Amino acid sequence: MSTRIAFLKGHGTENDFVIVPDADNAIELPPAAVAALCDRRAGIGGDGLLHVVRSAAHPDARHLAAEAEWFMDYRNGDGSVAEMCGNGVRVFARYLERAGLVGEGDVAVATRGGVKRVHIAKPTEDGAPGDITVAMGKAVLPGGDVTISVDEHQWPALNVNMGNPHAVAFVTDLAHAGRLLDPPPFSPATAYPHGVNVEFVVDRGPRHVAMRVYERGAGETRSCGTGACAVAVAAARRDGLDPAVTGTPVAYTVDVPGGRLVITERPDGEIEKTGPAVIVAEGEIDADWLAAAVAAA
């Protein structure tokens, strides 16, 4: 292997990622290596890592190769494996476009949460990259009463699964979520055996909300794509606008600390998420440094 490894850095509404192109799945990325790369002081820095692999070359995606050429082998910032990352898919697609591997229009991306359909819009009139829309699949509402706690505050939360678990709590002030340095406690303890992403939500106007999020394995982030979808689903149910009942698509604008997303849920349950994706840098990782960081972990 070369002593250097190519990488890029990108973000979607400031949910940022280290991108490692590796079409043949030849680069070993154990959890300690991912954590070192995502370290904001000693590494490149990111909420997570996008390992770009051909589906046929990865054991977790070979069964999807006929539907999607490229697999987003997504890792959280602590090195743990995750099923999906909504903002990550947009940045992943932007990388494929930049690298000349796909063009504008429709693209299929394999993830551990299934194949995601992506649409890359044309550049705007002023030349800025067009927004990217991701078909996020359908939300599952497992039911069950869940409570989220922060300091003296407690809120009921809606259990929403978007390929990964979310607990959505509507609050009166986003500051009540605290500093979100640690996972917010939830009850019952059996509700999320593998941890949960927690969204705190306030209203900004008709079909317009704002959120903060604690992502399992990453801490508080500037944005969470699957979280924004979960929030829109929860808001629609709260507002009596379930598209399956009304027969009409419903769209919510969701403000995240890093920007703005538009989430549309259709009567058949399919959810689309639209927002920006930006590549900000590219370079090389020193493989000797990475090996030393892994050895020291």
The response to whether 161 counts as a known ligand-binding position is no
The response to whether 86 counts as a known ligand-binding position is yes
Q: Are strands 219-221 and 153-161 parallel, antiparallel or unpaired?
A: unpaired
CA 193 to chain centre: 20
Check 224, 231, 290, 293 and give the catalytic one: 224
C-alpha to C-alpha distance for 291 and 80, rounded to whole angstroms = 18
CA distances from 264 to 222, 259, 267, 271, 292 (A): 21, 17, 10, 6, 45
Lookup: tokens for 87 = 């903002």
Cβ 210 vs Cβ 204: under 8 Å: yes
The response to whether 215 counts as a known ligand-binding position is yes
Buried b (16+ CB within 10 A) or exposed e, 98-120: eeebbeeeebbbbbbbebbbbbb
Residue with tokens 């801490």: 219
The response to whether 164 counts as a known ligand-binding position is yes
Check 20, 52, 85, 198 and give the catalytic one: 85
Phi-psi region of 142 (alpha: psi -120 to 50; beta: other; left: phi over 0): alpha
Residue 38 is among the residues annotated as catalytic for this protein: no
The secondary structure of the chain in percent helix, strand, coil, rounded to multiples of 5, reads 20, 40, 40
The response to whether 159 counts as a known ligand-binding position is no
Tell me which H or E stretch contains 106. strand 105-111
Lookup: tokens for 117 = 């359909």
Tell me which H or E stretch contains 107. strand 105-111
The response to whether 87 counts as a known ligand-binding position is yes
DSSP string of 42-70, one letter each residue: TSS--SEEEEEEEGGGSTTTGGGTTT-SE
What lies within 8 Å, CB to CB, of 82 at 6+ separation is: 48, 74, 75, 76, 112, 164, 217
Residue 229 is among the residues annotated as catalytic for this protein: no
Mark the binding-site residues for substrate, compressed into ranges: 15, 76, 86-87, 164, 197, 215-216, 225-226
Mark the binding-site residues, compressed into ranges: 15, 76, 86-87, 164, 197, 215-216, 225-226
Catalytically active residues, by annotation:
85, 224
